[in-house]
Structure formats: C-alpha cells, structure tokens
C-alpha cells in the first residue's frame, strides 16, 4: 500500500523541464493517465508544442472548443461576421437571430471612448497621509514624465500615461490607512497588462522614496471604467408579435423583465450571464482575456452599490420601436499576448475584417446586447428551453454514441419526444442500429 501511494505521487520534480511526451509518460507511470488517454493527448492537437508551451506551464495537451460564426450583424453601418467560441448550444443561433431583427432597422450603433488601462500603486505606513496626498497632487506632471521615461516605446506609438489620480483609502474602522496612486495609461492597440505593470514597478521605488512610505502593491486594475463602450439598437415592435402575443405586449414584457433584473439580484445575475454568453465567446475567439472582461463587467454592474442589470430596454417616444442599450468596460487588444500567438485569434480578426481594438470592442458589446434581446424575447414568449433543447438534442445524440448520419437521425427523433434525456437517446440509437442490421436467415 505504501509503495502504491508513493508511486501515485503528484510531487514530480523538474516536471516543467520535460517535453510534453515525457510529461505524459511520467503521468502514465504514476498512474494518473492510462495509455489510451496518453495517446489521445499526443494525437489531438491544433497548436504546436512551441506555441502551447509559450501560453501555459506544464503543458500536456489542448482542450478544443468549437468556433462558430454569428451572422446578420451590422455594426456602425458595416456588415460583420462574428467569430464565437462557446460550448453551449443555442448561443450562436440566438445571437444570429437577434441580429436579424436589428438588421431591419439599420443594425447596431456603437461607440468606444478612450482606451485607458488603469494601474495602482498602493502605499502604507505613512507619517501624514493627507500631506503625502497633497505632495503627490502637486507633482502629477513629474509622475507622468517619469512614467513616460520608464516605457518610452508606448509614448512613441501615441500612448502613455494620461492622468494621475491620488486617493486616501480608509480601513473598516474609517481610519486613513493607504495612499493609492491611480495611473490611467493609453496602451494603444495592446491589452496593455505588461506595459502598465512595467511602468508601475518602475515608479514604485521612486514614489516610495518621495513619501518615505512602504509599498504594498503595484499592479494593474481590471476594472477598466476609463474604457467604456456603448452599443444601442432598435427593433420594430410589430416584428415581435407571435401567434399568441401582440408585438406591443412582447415589447412591454421585455422592458418589464429588464427592469426587474435591476430590482432582484438573483435575476440580475442570470440576466447578465446571458449577456456575457455572447461577449465571452467573441473575447475568447479573438485571444483576449475573458476573465478580465467578466470581472470588469460585473464590477461595473455593481457601481451604484447594488448589483443590477447591465442592459436597459425601453420604447421609443412614438411606441414603434423597442430600444436597447448596453454600456460596459471593454478594454481588449488587437495585438500582443495570446492575440499575437494564437493562429485562430488572428483568423478571427480576419473574419471580423478589423484590426482595430475599438472596432472590436464595438462589435463585442453589440453581440452582448443581441444575446440579451434573444434571451429576453425567448423568456417572455415561448420560454428558454424550446430553442435550447432543440439544439441540445445533437449533444445528447453524440453523448449517447451516435456518429456520422446517426447524430442527425437520433437528434431529430429526440426533438419529437416530450422528455428529452440521455436514456432516451440511447434507446433511439439502439433502435436505429437494430433496424439497420440485416435480417437473419432462419436456421
């Protein structure tokens, strides 16, 4: 027993120095992988080891997700094909369908403001916090000049530190405890994390010496409230009618559902998750940091002190149009990091026909608004499950073991069932295969 436990240890020395096949062999030898699993990892890869090892430590394989395209989009007068990476059925279809409604009224309108990445320098153990704050206020120009000297290349590209904000941060007892210096930096087309952190780490010892204070942290903030993108759209109320509901009633219910999401946190979370279904899918496809985008979006939804719906819906003054609006922090990059390393990210930019980070942000927030409309419309009419489960039938068929033409055949039969389950998929597949067996001749 003791020998088995030792053999299965995850304490693997110098693992990072081995190549991928050696890592997999070691995991197999330590009984964490079967030979079959090892073979799968070795044989199923889109990226070269050179690229994959650059992106992650201890790389042993790759996790594929499907990339689809949402159609029908017009953003700021330009037709757009939108790449989306997601594993959830109905996201791409719902997004494409929503864009079709908006297309009739000219498409989405979107605007992005300044692209400023925010960094923080945090100090503590100051003799006089108020004096230190005033001192830095008087020397903002010098701080900006120093920051530009630390990273001159971003200045040459037209960027650099644009603003310095100094804040006193109090502890839970209301006592002034920290002095925080916020730098708002124009990072041009890059995501900007390395640029910002380089500037911050260069400034930290200088400001610490000025203040005779202890530095706590120097780090970028993912709350990019200095980089906001707004997307708006209009949908003809008459187009919202169903066989049982008038367009005006559907519009009213969508507006009420949106308003309710700002009153109830339980609903707001799911309302906003639907928006992020669309946004994250495009962010991933373009090689950007979806975790940073998620964190900033949810923080922005809580900026009033209460977590609320990210989007707003209302009727136009003449009552003919349902109008939607979505504003979110959207600092994404068109180059640098994984964007420049992943071939699929570059191809996604080609699909979108843009290499502008602002234009990409406009498209991404428009997708979020489209996804929100699709979800709200489904919820207030036929319900969310009808379309979702229809597409889920394919996944159930595959899970049951269907292959090739069997997938569509089993999925189509599943859609006719009142109760769509994996067990039913197994039964349908078995019946399908039995029906294809040649009739046995009598003995």
What would the pLDDT profile of 210-252 be if each residue is shown by its tens digit? Answer: 999 999 999 999 999 989 999 999 999 999 999 999 999 999 9
Looking up tokens 């059925």 gives: 89
- Ramachandran bin of 168, using left for φ above 0, alpha for ψ from -120 to 50, beta for the remaining angles: beta
Q: How far is CA 432 from CA 401, 437, 441, in A?
A: 12, 9, 20
Q: What percent of the chain has pLDDT over 90?
A: 72
Q: What percent of the chain has pLDDT over 70?
A: 95
Helix (H) or strand (E) holding 234: strand 228-236
Bridge partners of 122, per DSSP, are 180, 217
At residue 61, the pLDDT reads 93
Q: How many C-beta neighbours within 10 Å does residue 316 have?
A: 12
> 186, 234, 280, 289: which one is catalytic?
289
pLDDT tens digit string along 247-284?
999 999 999 999 999 999 999 999 999 999 999 999 99
> 88, 137, 259, 412: which one is catalytic?
88
CB 286 within 8 A of CB 349: yes
Question: Encoding tokens for residue 185?
Answer: 């930096």
At residue 383, the pLDDT reads 66
> 18, 140, 253, 273: which one is catalytic?
273
Q: How many C-beta neighbours within 10 Å does residue 356 have?
A: 14
> Alpha helix (H) ranges present in 139-288?
140-150, 152-156, 193-211, 247-261, 265-285
CB 390 within 8 A of CB 403: no
- As a whole number of angstroms, the distance between CA 88 and CA 92 comes to 9
Q: Is 76 helix (H, G, I), strand (E, B) or coil?
A: coil
At residue 387, the pLDDT reads 55
Q: Is 161 helix (H, G, I), strand (E, B) or coil?
A: strand
Q: State residue 229 phi and psi, 5-degree precision.
A: -125, 135
Active site residue 318: no
79-83, 134-138, 191-195, 322-326, range with the lowest pLDDT: 191-195
Nearby residues of 99 by Cβ (< 8 Å), 6 or more positions away:
70, 71, 72, 73, 74, 107, 108, 370
Active site residue 273: yes
Question: CA torsion 40→42→46→51, rounded to 10°?
Answer: 140
- As a whole number of angstroms, the distance between CA 34 and CA 40 comes to 10
Active site residue 353: no
> 78, 140, 388, 426: which one is catalytic?
388
Computed over every residue of the chain, the mean pLDDT equals: 91
At residue 1, the pLDDT reads 41
Q: How many C-beta neighbours within 10 Å does residue 149 have?
A: 12
**Residue 2 — pLDDT band, cuts 50, 70, 90?**
very low
pLDDT tens digit string along 389-423?
666 777 788 878 888 888 888 888 888 887 778 88
Average pLDDT over residues 176-189: 93
At residue 440, the pLDDT reads 52
DSSP state of 187: -
Q: pTM of this prediction?
A: 0.84
Residues written for the chain: 443
């Amino acid at each position: 027993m003791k020998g088995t436990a030792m053999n299965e240890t995850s304490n693997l020395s110098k693992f990072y120095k081995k190549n991928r096949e050696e890592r997999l062999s070691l995991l197999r030898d330590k009984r964490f992988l079967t030979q079959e699993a090892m073979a799968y990892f070795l044989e199923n890869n889109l990226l070269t080891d050179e690229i994959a090892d650059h992106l992650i430590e201890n790389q042993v394989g790759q996790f594929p997700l499907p990339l689809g395209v949402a159609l029908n989009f017009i953003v700021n007068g330009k037709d757009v094909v939108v790449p989306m990476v997601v594993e959830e059925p109905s996201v791409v279809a719902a997004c494409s369908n929503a864009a079709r409604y908006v297309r009739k009224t000219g498409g989405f309108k979107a605007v992005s403001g300044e692209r400023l990445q925010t960094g923080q320098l945090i100090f503590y153990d100051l003799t006089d916090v108020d004096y230190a704050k005033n001192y830095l206020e008087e020397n903002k120009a010098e701080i900006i000049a120093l920051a530009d000297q630390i990273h001159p290349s971003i200045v040459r590209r037209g960027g650099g530190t644009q603003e310095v904000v100094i804040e006193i941060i109090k502890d839970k007892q209301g006592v002034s405890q920290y002095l925080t210096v916020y730098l708002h930096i124009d990072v041009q087309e890059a995501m900007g994390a390395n640029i910002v952190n380089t500037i911050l780490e260069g400034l930290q010892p200088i400001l610490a010496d000025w203040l005779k204070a202890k530095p706590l942290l120097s780090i970028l903030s993912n709350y990019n409230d200095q980089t906001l993108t707004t997307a708006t759209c209009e949908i003809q109320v008459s187009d919202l009618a169903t066989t049982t509901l008038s367009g005006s009633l559907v519009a009213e219910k969508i507006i009420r559902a949106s308003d309710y999401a700002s009153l109830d946190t339980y609903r707001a979370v799911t309302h906003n998750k639907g928006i992020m279904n669309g946004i994250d899918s495009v962010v991933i496809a373009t090689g950007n940091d979806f975790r940073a985008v998620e964190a900033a979006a949810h923080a922005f939804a809580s900026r009033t002190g209460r977590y609320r719906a990210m989007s707003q819906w209302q009727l136009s003054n003449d009552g003919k149009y349902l109008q939607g609006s979505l504003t979110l922090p959207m600092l994404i990059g068109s180059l640098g990091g994984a964007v420049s390393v992943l071939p699929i990210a570059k191809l996604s930019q080609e699909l979108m026909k843009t290499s502008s980070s602002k234009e990409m942000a406009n498209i991404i927030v428009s997708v979020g608004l489209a996804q929100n409309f699709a979800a709200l419309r489904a919820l207030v009419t036929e319900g969310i499950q009808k379309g979702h489960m229809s597409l889920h039938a394919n996944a159930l068929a595959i899970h049951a073991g269907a292959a090739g033409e069997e997938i569509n055949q089993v999925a189509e039969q599943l859609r006719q069932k009142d109760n769509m389950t994996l067990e039913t998929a197994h039964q349908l597949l078995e019946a399908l295969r039995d029906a294809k067996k040649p009739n046995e001749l009598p003995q």
